[in-house]
Amino acid sequence: MEQVLHQINDYKKEIAAFTSIDDKSVEEFRIKWLGTKGIVKAIMGEMKNVPIEKKKEFGQILNDFKLFVENKYESLKDTISNQQPAPDSYRDSDKSDLTLPGDTMPLGSHHPVTLMKNRIVSIFQRLGFAVAEGPEIEDDWHNFGALNLPLHHPARDLQDTFYVQQNPDFLLRTHTSNVQIREMEKGKLPIRMIMPGRVYRNETVSARSHCFFHQVEGLYIDENVSFADLKQTLYFFVKEMYGKDVKVRFRPSYFPFTEPSAEMDISCFICGGEGCAICKKTGWVEILGCGMVHPNVLQNCGINPGKYTGFAFGMGIERPAMLKYGINDIRMFSENDVRFLKQFTSVI
C-alpha cells in the first residue's frame, strides 16, 4: 500500500507538470491516464490487495486521485478550446444584415432514454404497477445493508461506488433498489411498484459502459406470491416490448437480495438467433436480473417473511434503447449533441 501511495504522488507531480499544445496531445493524455487500459484503471485495481479495515481509507485516496486526473483533463480541454480563433460571424459582425427575419425555433423531442423509459413504465402500469422514486444520494443502509449486503460482504466489491467525500456513510446510489427498501419500510402492503431512475458506478467511460446510467426496477410483495407470478409478469413484458415471436429463457444466477435468483435472456432479434456481434454469437441477449425477495431483506424492512413473499427484477434502460435505435456508443446519450437528439423528433 505504501508503494502505491508513493507512486500516486509521483504521478500527481507528472500530471501537474504536463502542458498541452493541441487537441492531439490532450487526447493522448486522456488515453494514457483515463483510458480503458490507462494508469488510473490500473491503480484502481490495487483495491483488491488492500486489507478490509483499510479499504474505505484507501478507496478515498484512489477516488481523489481519479478526480485529480479528470480535473486536469478538463482544464487541458478548456485551455485548447480558448486558443481556437473566433468564428468569422463574430469577427465580422458588422457585415450581418439585421433586417433579416430570425430563425424559426426547431421542434424539440424526447431523449431516447426517456422514450424507452416511458415505454417500459407504460407496459408495467397496465399490469397495475405504480411508479415510485427516491433519492440519488443515499445512505449505506438503504443502498447496501438492508439488501442483505453487510459491511464486509464480498458482493460489495462487484459495485464500484462513488462515496460522498465529506461523509463516507453517504454515496451515489448504485441501483434503484434503495427505493424498494424505502417503500417496504412504509409498511403499506401489498406493494406493486416500479422504480425508474439514474444510478452511478465508478467505472471507466467507454462505448459500452458509463459512470452513470438508468435502471427500472420492479417489486411485488403480497401473500402467496410465487416464482410463477414473476415469470408470467416478465413474459407479458417481453411480448409487449419485443413482439410475440421472441423466445425467452431463464438462467440461474446469484444476487444477495433475492433467492432464488435468475437472469432473463431473449432471442436476439437482430440476427434471429443465428448469432451476431450484438449477441456475441450466442443468439441470446441478457435483458434483466430477477428473483424472489430474500427473507432477510423482508425482515430488515419490518415485513414478516412467514406471511409475505415477493419478487423483484431490474433492467437497464440504455441497452434496450441502443438495440431499438441502432446506437453503438452509450456515450452519445449524455453528450447532448443536437445532431443526434433531433433524429428522435418524430418518435413518441
Distances in Å between the Cα of 155 and the Cα atoms of 58, 83, 181, 299 are 18, 47, 18, 20
The DSSP 8-state label assigned to residue 341 in this structure reads H
Q: Which run of H or of E encompasses 258?
A: strand 258-267
Distances in Å between the Cα of 121 and the Cα atoms of 181, 202, 247, 317 are 20, 27, 22, 11
Q: In the numeric block, which cell numbers belong to residue 287?
A: 435483458
Q: How many CB atoms lie within 10 A of CB 210?
A: 18
pLDDT tens per residue, range 136-189: 999 999 999 999 987 777 666 656 788 888 787 899 999 999 999 999 999 999
> What is the model's pLDDT at position 108?
74
The DSSP bridge pattern shows strands 137-139 and 170-172 to be antiparallel
Overall average pLDDT of the 320-341 stretch: 85
Task: Please give the residue that has the higher pLDDT: either 343 or 133.
Answer: 133
**Average pLDDT value over all residues in the chain:** 86
Quote the CA–CA distance of 233 and 176 in Å, as a whole number: 20
Determine which of 87-101, 118-132, 166-180, 326-340 has the lowest per-residue pLDDT on average. Answer: 87-101
pTM surpassing 0.75? no
**Cα dihedral sign for 6, 8, 10, 12?**
negative
Quote the CA–CA distance of 74 and 30 in Å, as a whole number: 10
Q: Which run of H or of E encompasses 43?
A: helix 39-44
Domain range summary for the chain, segments of one domain joined by +: 2-83, 112-344
- The answer on pLDDT for 94 being more than 60 is no
- Domain formed by 112-344, architecture: 2-Layer Sandwich (3.30)
The DSSP 8-state label assigned to residue 169 in this structure reads T
Q: List strand residue ranges (DSSP E) for 175-247, in order.
A: 191-200, 212-222
Q: In the numeric block, which cell numbers belong to residue 284?
A: 441470446
> What is the model's pLDDT at position 45?
82
Quote the CA–CA distance of 239 and 24 in Å, as a whole number: 48
> What is the model's pLDDT at position 86?
52
Q: List strand residue ranges (DSSP E) for 85-211, in order.
A: 130-131, 137-139, 170-172, 191-200
The DSSP 8-state label assigned to residue 105 in this structure reads P
> What is the model's pLDDT at position 281?
81
Q: Which of 36-45, 191-200, 241-250 is most confident?
A: 191-200
Residues 6+ apart with CB under 8 A from 226: 309
> What is the model's pLDDT at position 293?
97
**Cα dihedral sign for 268, 269, 271, 274?**
positive
Buried b (16+ CB within 10 A) or exposed e, 49-82: ebeeeebeebbebbbebbebbeebbeebbeebee
Overall average pLDDT of the 324-341 stretch: 85
Q: What is the number of helices (H) and of strands (E) in the chain?
A: 12, 9
Rg of the chain on CA atoms, in Å = 24
Quote the CA–CA distance of 286 and 280 in Å, as a whole number: 11
Residues 6+ apart with CB under 8 A from 70: 34
Percent of all residues in the chain with a pLDDT value above 90, rounded to a whole number: 40
> What is the model's pLDDT at position 156?
67
- The answer on pLDDT for 348 being more than 70 is no
